Amino acid sequence: MFKKMLFCAAAGLLLLAQSACDNDKPQPTPSAQKGSTLITTTVVNPDGASGVCYMQLIDGLTGHYDNAKAVPAGFGAPPVVQGRDVFVLPDYMGNNKAEMRHYVYETNGTLQLRGTLALPAGAGAANVCKVSDTKAYVSFQNTGQVWAFNPSTMQKIAEIDMNALAQKDMRVAPAAMVERDGLLFVGLNQFDAQWMPTAKQADMALVDT
């Protein structure tokens, strides 16, 4: 059984994040991974607003683990897991390569890279929702957009602009998403210049999938 342990706000996922004060040793040397549990490890810089994130498979939660066999993930945007699909988002603040990686947890217990999708630099990718083998969505908090893409080919299908849904003097930031009965429910953050909401309300957009 593939146990998904992430610290993203998604139903059915369990948070498991670890912090450390020094990422100099050991240096990650990614290789073929095999295990039953997926963990992410966050190493936070002294400023508290930046750092690095690593992802790896392990067997169980006992023993000692480091990042020697981990693969880089995006700081501030933990991987999103749906079934056997693992989507790794870039650094939320735009401090690494602007691409999304799609891994699949194979039946032999290994994590295999299936493809990548180039994303807009600094877009603030926040969440992924896969609705079928040929359609999924990724939300961008810094551009006010949601992209539809094919998770099998990792090709963009369409752009959905939600900036018209911004409250007065605010900017809209599409966030967590869930699909049900042919509709994509997109949670909408509303931020002012200090990244804070002002209205006492919750906004949501519905997209026909």
Residue 70 included in any domain: yes
**Tokens of residue 146, six digits:** 């949601």
Residue scoring higher pLDDT (187 or 52): 187
> How far are the Cα atoms of 6, 89, 125 from residue 75, in angstroms, in the given order?
13, 9, 11
pLDDT of amino acid 11: 32
In a domain, 110, yes or no: no
Number of domains in the chain: 2
Q: Are residues 28 and 83 in the same domain?
A: yes
Query: Do 56 and 126 share a domain, yes or no?
Result: no
Domain shared by 66 and 150, yes or no: no
| CA pair distance 96, 75, nearest whole angstrom | 9
| SS3 state at 116 | strand
Structure tokens, 98? 């602007």
Instruction: Establish if 158 belongs to a structural domain.
Output: yes
Across the range 49-78, mean pLDDT stands at: 88
Are 89 and 2 in a shared domain?
yes
Q: Looking at residues 155-162, what average pLDDT do you find?
A: 98
In a domain, residue 106? The reply is: no
Same domain, 167 and 88: no
Q: Is residue 114 part of a domain?
A: no
More confident residue, 151 or 2: 151
pLDDT value at 151 more than 80: yes
Kindly state the average pLDDT of the residues 51-57. Answer: 92
pLDDT tens string 181-208: 999 999 999 999 998 999 888 999 999 9
Q: What is the mean pLDDT of the chain?
A: 86
Q: How far apart are CA 26 and CA 92, in angstroms?
A: 24
Banded pLDDT at 17 (limits 50, 70, 90) = very low
Residues 89 and 123 in one domain: no
Within a domain: residue 127? yes
Q: How many CB atoms lie within 10 A of CB 134?
A: 12
pTM: 0.82
What is the average pLDDT across 60-84?
Answer: 89
CA atoms of 85 and 17, how far apart (whole Å): 19
Are 123 and 207 contained in the same domain? yes
Read off the pLDDT band of 8 (50, 70, 90).
very low
pLDDT for res 85: 98
Domain CATH code at residue 198: 2.40.10
Q: Which domain holds residue 61?
A: 1-93
- Residue 193 covered by a domain: yes
Q: What is residue 163's three-state secondary structure?
A: helix
pLDDT-wise least confident of 49-63, 117-131, 192-206:
49-63
136 with 80, same domain: the answer is: no
- Whether 21 has a pLDDT exceeding 50, the answer reads no
Q: Which residue has the higher pLDDT, 195 or 12?
A: 195
Task: Tell which of 93, 109, 142 closes a domain.
Answer: 93
State the Cα–Cα distance between residues 16 and 7, nearest whole angstrom.
Answer: 6
Cα 148 to Cα 158: distance, rounded to the nearest angstrom: 5
Please indicate, yes or no, if residue 107 is contained in any of the structural domains: no
Four-CA torsion 150, 13, 205, 49, nearest 10 degrees: -100
What is residue 29's predicted lDDT score, i.e. its pLDDT? Answer: 53
**Whether residue 60 is found in the same domain as residue 131:** no
What integer is the mean pLDDT of 105-125?
A: 95
Task: Please compute the mean of the pLDDT values over residues 161-189 and round it to a whole number.
Answer: 97
Tokens of 116: 């990548």
